[in-house]
Structure 1
């Protein structure tokens, strides 16, 4: 499990079994291959390594490094805490951009 937190240590989401869950345990989206799929079945983002990409033009929107969520300006906007794969860490960074 990975906790997705903001810069004031509030847990916003959890990544469990390649699913984005809110604080009530509802699944907001899940990872299917390299695609992030929302609860309506739509692809809303893709991942490539440690980057979350726009579905429109593959432009990086967010990334992570050393447990930190980084926006396109290089600013640290949140953190990822816990054990998981690179895919799950990237899913957590994308969750921050998509739902926070």
Structure 2
């Protein structure tokens, strides 16, 4: 949460999340520009500019640059996904070979 709040403050953006059941925090302007894990030091970030802000201010956070939160441009091995982001598994619609940041968000809520 601290990472999201500092990034939002630096860029005059807003933090959006539901306490309790969501494992991701969103930093938004009119759309999601960053999705930050509450469990792992990981941020999925739209664009290099904002990614640079996170890398400079939070060097321990792994940053993955994405083109859009709804584009299926991410992939991960089933073993790594089970051990990290999706320990409870996923629905039949989720494809580990091609998923989006929003897919991860939906699979963990």
Q: Point out the structure with the larger strand share.
A: 1
**Higher RCO, 1 vs 2 (CA within 8 Å, ≥6 residues apart):** 1
Larger-Rg structure: 2
Instruction: Calculate the TM-score normalised by the size of structure 2.
Output: 0.29
Instruction: Calculate the TM-score normalised by the size of structure 1.
Output: 0.31
